[in-house]
Amino acid sequence: MQTLRTDCLVIGAGLAGSAYALQAAQQGRAVELLSLAEPLAANSDRAQGGIIFDTSPQPEELARDILVASDHTANPAAVQQLVREGPRAVQELLLDELAIGFDRDAGGVLDFTREGGHSGRRIIHAKDATGHAILAAVAGRVAATPRITRRTGWVAIDLLTLSHNSKDTSDRYQPLTCFGAYVLDTATGETVALVAKKTILATGGLGQIFLHTTNEPGSVGHGVAMAYRVGARVIDLEYVQFHPTVFAKKNAPRFLVTEALRGEGGVLLNARGQRFMEAVDPRGSLAPRDVVARAIIQELAASGEPHALLDLSAMTPDFIRTRFPTVHATCLAHGVDVTREPIPIVPAAHFACGGVHADLEGRTSVRHLNAIGETGCTGLHGANRLASTSLLECLVSAKFAARADAAEIARGEFRLPEPREWESPGREADPVLIRQDMLQIQHTMWNYAGVVRSPKRLTRARRILLELREEIQSFYRGCRLTRDLIELRNAVQTALLIVHAASLNPHSKGSHYVVEER
Ligand SMILES: Cc1cc2nc3c(=O)[nH]c(=O)nc-3n(C[C@H](O)[C@H](O)[C@H](O)COP(=O)(O)OP(=O)(O)OC[C@H]3O[C@@H](n4cnc5c(N)ncnc54)[C@H](O)[C@@H]3O)c2cc1C
């Protein structure tokens, strides 16, 4: 087994991980930056709407909007950090250093837009592909930064802790301390021990454990599962935000269908062409996200149909083509001409409000282990997330964690032990078993722990997942590792944690909705 040593091991190269890597390297630290696949294969790249850049003299209004969106459950300290430090983080990295091409008017003034839940225009954007503009620029800078070593296709398997993975057996009496991770190099099939002074979980979201999701493949809560296995505190996992409208044609990829379509007159219909939102909420198709998502799920459960429809016939074809070019082109590429026919849609898992508990400098309950971006949970979102806060959270959490770590590394005495050897069996994993187990997790989570939950459904989900975890564990121990196998093992763990958190919380709040026993 090869062993590599570094200052900072960053697991995940989305916006949070890449921003951390840049800042740690600028402060003189050596960084290893891992990702499952190529640099832009991350949820950060998929972000459409924009990023908050609130330069108003009243940051308290943004703080209030975040608290209201969270149903008054967000952590006020985390909210204050975001609203006070966010503008500087955007200015320094995105505007001054990387000069990202956000939309501006003819005079060069930034175009501020507004989204649901915001009381003012404070979101900057690059057309409807903001995440791509940001991540491409950040990844370009990462590639040109000497102290960062990028490792694509290097999949973290498990965290190294003194108590479990040091060759020196007396280390098991040390406090719970992380010193890196075992990582699979998918190109060679070799397992590498990456020993680090600081290990940073920036593995993004967990939407892929549900049948329908807006998330990038591989978003199964890798960081949450790895952290949980070494005993880190995980919190708020029952709060998974669902987006109401995601493209849902058979055999076509899922992608987000913007809410702005309903703002411009798009109407939700069931598969028989009937309106159903008006019976649920006086605001009809313009009701808030979670109300719409629940109404669609209930309609589909009652009718047995696989999807609902979003009808755009109130808009002229020309208007649709100019105002929504991305939606128009993407749907057309998958055989749906939205100027002539409604869009098939379903709700989908979108954002994890909970995660690995972290303080305002990214520290988790395990020494030298950080969690940032969507993987970390400072309580910023509480039970539900305000639109366009997440990219900003990535920047702020990365900046504060990198600064604190660089100072600690410069000061501190880190003893990095020799890791124990990794032993890998030679037998190939059967891909059919992996695929089927993953589908079972996704169906179970969607039906029993998705948009609408009940104690009975959660109990059933728990039983299925516990059995599945046993199966997967024994299968995992006997087979040579692959990315799919690592993903499956983490997916079932993350799913169980969500079900457990949801079972312990009988109160509907924010994105967690529980119905009475039926
Ligand atoms: C469709 C969509 C639209 C969105 N729109 C917006 C928006 O307009 N504004 C906004 O603020 N937010 C938006 N969000 C949310 C936001 O994009 C994400 O919350 C944020 O980008 C997460 O960034 P991250 O760096 O934490 O994770 P990601 O960007 O998901 O990156 C995760 C990284 O971790 C790597 N990784 C995972 N597991 C492992 C492992 N075991 N080993 C090695 N590497 C691993 C992945 O390869 C990837 O590089 C949107 C999200 C989606 C899905």
Nearest to 490 by CA among 175, 247, 260, 209: 209
Name which residue sits closest to atom 37 of ligand 1, judged by CA.
203
Residue 370 in contact with ligand 1 by CB distance below 6 A: no
Mean pLDDT in residue range 57-85: 95
Confidence (pLDDT) at 412: 83
pLDDT above 80 (res 118): yes
Confidence (pLDDT) at 263: 78
The catalytically annotated residue of 46, 150, 262, 289 is 289
Q: Which atom of ligand 1 is nearest the CA belonging to 203?
A: 34
Q: Tell me: the pLDDT tens digits for 14-63?
A: 999 999 999 999 999 999 999 999 999 999 999 988 999 998 888 999 99
pLDDT above 90 (res 98): yes
Residue 181 in contact with ligand 1 by CB distance below 6 A: no
Q: How many CB atoms lie within 10 A of CB 335?
A: 9
Q: Are 190 and 226 in contact (CB under 8 A)?
A: no
Mean pLDDT in residue range 218-225: 98
- Report which of residues 15 and 284 the model is more confident about: 15
Residue 39 in contact with ligand 1 by CB distance below 6 A: no
Cα 345 to averaged position of ligand 1 atoms, centre (Å): 22
CA distance 25 to 205: 25
Q: Tell me: the pLDDT tens digits for 437-460?
A: 999 999 999 999 999 999 999 999
Cα 101 to averaged position of ligand 1 atoms, centre (Å): 21
Q: Tell me: the pLDDT tens digits for 186-201?
A: 999 999 999 999 999 9
Cα 390 to averaged position of ligand 1 atoms, centre (Å): 9
What is the value of pTM for the model shown?
0.96
pLDDT above 80 (res 260): no
Q: What is the mean pLDDT of the chain?
A: 95
Catalytic residue flag (residue 272): no
Confidence (pLDDT) at 518: 63
Q: Tell me: the pLDDT tens digits for 387-409?
A: 899 999 999 999 999 999 999 99
CA dihedral 191, 168, 234, 154 (to 10 degrees): -10
Name which residue sits closest to atom 20 of ligand 1, judged by CA.
44
Residue 75 in contact with ligand 1 by CB distance below 6 A: no
Residue 351 in contact with ligand 1 by CB distance below 6 A: yes
Name which residue sits closest to atom 27 of ligand 1, judged by CA.
204
Name which residue sits closest to atom 50 of ligand 1, judged by CA.
47
Give helix then strand counts, H and E, for the chain: 15, 17
Cα 416 to averaged position of ligand 1 atoms, centre (Å): 30
The residue written with tokens 């993407």 in the block is 330
Residue 11 in contact with ligand 1 by CB distance below 6 A: yes
CA distance 485 to 203: 17
- Report which of residues 256 and 77 the model is more confident about: 77
Q: What are phi and psi of 4, to 5 degrees?
A: -115, 150
Residue 151 in contact with ligand 1 by CB distance below 6 A: no
CA distance 162 to 368: 11
Residue 381 in contact with ligand 1 by CB distance below 6 A: no
Mean pLDDT in residue range 242-255: 92
Mean pLDDT in residue range 163-191: 95
Among 142-156, 289-303, 323-337, the range with the most confident prediction by mean pLDDT is 142-156
